Structure 1
C-alpha cells in the first residue's frame, strides 16, 4: 500500500483529510432552567461530562438526570439520535461516548451527528479517542479550557473509505465488546455475592444445622449493643477480624523496578481503581498481594473497594487505600463482602473527617475500633468457600480486561493512522484503487 504526506501526517493514499463539519453536523447542548420543576425528571436522558467520568462502555443510555419535552423546548439542548458521537468540550475535554438511544446533553459537549454516507459513527468514536490530546491542545481559555464549535467544526482528521472505517471499527469494537461483557459478568457476580451476604449476615437467614433459614425458622435472637443478633454471635471490634498492612516502598529503594500498580484518582468521584501495567514508582506505595482487600480512604460516601487478584509479586497500590488483611485463614471472601456491604460503607462515611467532598478521609487505624457483629468462624469460612469461586472469576476477568485494554490501546493509534492496515476483500480493494 502506498502512503502520502498530509496535514495530519503520513496516511494511505486513498484516505482523505476532512474537517469534522464535512462528515457530520456539530451540535452543542444546553441546560434547562434548574429552578423550573416542569423542565426536569422527564423521560429524556440528559448527559453531562460528569456522567462520563469513569464511564468505560462505548454506548451511554442515561445520566444522573432526565429532562422533559418542555425543558428541551425551552433550552438550547437538542434531541440527539442514536449513534451520535458525544465529545466533551470542557470540564474536562475529551470524554467520548456514543448515544445508545435518543438523548440530550448539556453545553459541555460538541457532538457529531454523522453523515452515514461519509462517516461510520463507531469509527469516529475511536478516531476522536485517538485525537483527544490534539483537540485539547488547541482549546481556548486560560483558567478553564474549552473547545469552541468553530474549532471543532474546522478540526481536520484522516478519513478512510466507509468500508475501511467499518473494518477498523470492528476490530477495536470486538475488543471492547469482550471487555464490556466481562464487566457485566463481574457486576452480576458481585450482586449475587452481596445478596448472599445480606441474606446470611444482615437478615440472619444463614442455614441452621438443618439447612433451614435461621431467623425465619425460629432461630433464637439475643440483644446486643448493635441490636438483635443470633445467639452465639458476638459484638467486637473490626480489629478482631482484620489487620492493616502498612508495608511500603519508596522510589529511591527501587529506582529501576517496575510494578503492577493499583491506583485510584484522588478527586474523581465514582472511579474504580485502575491497574496500570509497568508503573515506575514515583511516590511511596503500599506493597500488596492477593490476600488483601483495598478500601479507599477518600470520598467514603462513594463506595470504593477493591480486592486485588494479582499474578505477580510486584504489585503496589496508592497510599490513599487502607490495606486490610484477614486475621484468620479462609475468610478473605467474607472480609471482602463485609467491607463491601452498605452497612460498613455507612460507618466509613459517618467517621470521615476533613472538609466536605473529595478531601474527606477515613483514618485507617481508627477503623479497627469500629464495633461490628462477629459471626462464628465456621460460618464465615462456610460463606467464603461458596463465594471464593465468584471472586476468582471476577479477578480473572479483570486481568483479561487489562490485557484487552492494552492491546486495544496499542492498536488504536496504529489503525487510525493507517500504519496497520485492515485486510479487505479484493472487490473493496479494486474499488479503492
Structure 2
C-alpha cells in the first residue's frame, strides 16, 4: 500500500455532530430533506446544513450511511459530518459504510452511538486525490443501480396505469359506449370489452362483470416459520412483511408469486419471480389466474388499512376474502397479461442486473476503502 495513506483516529479526519430536533408541529412544507437515522423521512422549508453532506444513525437505525447532495436538516436521531477536514465528502460516505458502528453502541434498551467514542476509532484513509477516484468509481456503480431501479419504477407505473384504465376506470368500455374506438389497443382486444354498464354492489360495472368475492379468484396461503439461525446459505430469498430478510438454500414456493405482508408491515406487496421462502409473517398468492393481474388487483384493495386492532398489527385473511371485485372474463385478463408479462420480464431482468451490481459494489467497497484493492484491478473485476 502507498505510504501516502494516513493512519489516525477518525476524529482527526472528520468531525461528527449530533443532528437537530424538529418536532412534527414545527415542520413547514419546503424543498429541503429531513434526514433521520433511516434516511429521508420528510421535507422542511429551511435547512440546517449545507450540502453535500453525510449522515448516519445515532439512535434507532444504526449502521446506515446517507450521502445528501443538497442542503438538508439532519434530525436529532443522527450524526452528521460537520467538518470533512479537506476529505472528499462522497468518499467519506463510502468510508463510513465500512465502520462497525455497533462496536461503538452503548448497551442500553435503545442502542445509541456516542460520537466521542466514534472519534477515537483507529482508521486509515487514502490521500484525497485517491479518495476522489474511488468515490467516482463507486458512484458510477451506484448510478447504474439507481438508473435500473428508476427504470423499473417507471415500468411498474405503466403496468399499474394500464390496469387502472382497463379495470378501475373502464376506459375501453366507456369509449365503446360513446361510439369511439378504445385507445391503445387493436380491434381484437377492443372486441373483448362490452359496450355498456350495469349497476351492482360496487356501483356501475361493465355489463357482465358482476362482483365476486376475492377468494373466488385467489388464495392467500400462509408462509412458514424459518428462524435466522435455521437458514443455510443459498440463493433463495427469504421474505418477511418488510421484504427480503435473508437467504436460504431451499425454497418453499417454486413458481412466481406475490408476497403479502400479514403481520408487521401490513398489506405490503412484493412480486417474486424466483423460487423463494415466505416466512410466517406473510401470505403468498396461489391462483390459476395470471399473477400479473392479481398483483395489480391487490394494489387497488387498500390492504395497508386492513390491520386488526391487536398488539401486533395484522391482516385477517377472511376480511380480505370478503372483498368484492368485478368478475373480469378470462379472455380480458389474458389480454392484459399478454401486455404486462413482457413488462414484467424487463423488470425482472433489470432487478437481477441491479442486484448483481449491488453485490459487486458491496464486495469491492471495503477492499477499495482499505487499500487492499487498487482501482485498475477493481475496474477489471467490474469490467468497466
TM-score range (shorter-chain normalised) is 0.7 to 0.9
Shift of 1:248: 5.6
1:281-292 → structure 2 map (5 Å cutoff): 287-292=252-257
DSSP-derived class of the 1:206 partner: helix
Counterpart check, 1:80 vs 2:33: no
CA offset digits 1:179-212 (Å, max 9, x no partner): 1111101111111111111111111113677742
Match of 2:93 in 1: 125
CA offset digits 1:28-51 (Å, max 9, x no partner): 22114555x5x533444322224x
Contact 1:309 1:392 in 2 (8 A): no
Please report the RMSD computed on the Cα atoms of aligned residues, expressed in angstroms: 3.0
Q: Cα 1:248–1:104, aligned 2, differ >3 Å: closer, same or farther?
A: closer
Counterpart check, 1:161 vs 2:127: yes
Shift of 1:412: 2.1
CA offset digits 1:9-44 (Å, max 9, x no partner): xxx543112333333342322114555x5x533444
DSSP-derived class of the 1:333 partner: helix
CA offset digits 1:363-386 (Å, max 9, x no partner): 335533332212111111111111
Contact 1:293 1:308 in 2 (8 A): yes
Match of 1:364 in 2: 317
**Cα distance between partner residues in 2 of 1:355 and 1:249:** 20
Match of 2:268 in 1: 304
1:11-410 → structure 2 map (5 Å cutoff): 13-32=3-22, 34-35=24-25, 37=26, 40-50=28-38, 52=39, 63-66=41-44, 68-69=45-46, 79-115=48-84, 117=86, 119-131=87-99, 133=100, 135-140=101-106, 142-206=108-172, 211-212=181-182, 219-245=195-221, 258-264=234-240, 271=242, 273-274=243-244, 276-277=246-247, 279=248, 287-299=252-264, 304-310=268-274, 315-328=276-289, 331-341=290-300, 344=301, 346=302, 348-355=303-310, 359-364=312-317, 366-410=319-363
**Cα distance between partner residues in 1 of 2:158 and 2:152:** 10
Segments of 5+ residues of structure 2 without an aligned counterpart are 184-189, 378-384
Contact 2:29 2:43 in 1 (8 A): yes
Shift of 1:255: 8.7
CA offset digits 1:203-258 (Å, max 9, x no partner): 111367774269xx99422111111111111211112211344586979xx99784
Contact 2:104 2:118 in 1 (8 A): no
Q: Cα 1:86–1:168, aligned 2, differ >3 Å: closer, same or farther?
A: same
Contact 2:268 2:304 in 1 (8 A): no
Q: Cα 1:246–1:415, aligned 2, differ >3 Å: closer, same or farther?
A: same
Contact 1:289 1:308 in 2 (8 A): no
Shift of 1:148: 2.6
**Cα distance between partner residues in 1 of 2:331 and 2:356:** 38
* TM-score, length of structure 2 as denominator length: 0.83
DSSP-derived class of the 1:423 partner: helix
Contact 1:292 1:308 in 2 (8 A): yes
Number of residue-to-residue matches in the alignment: 363
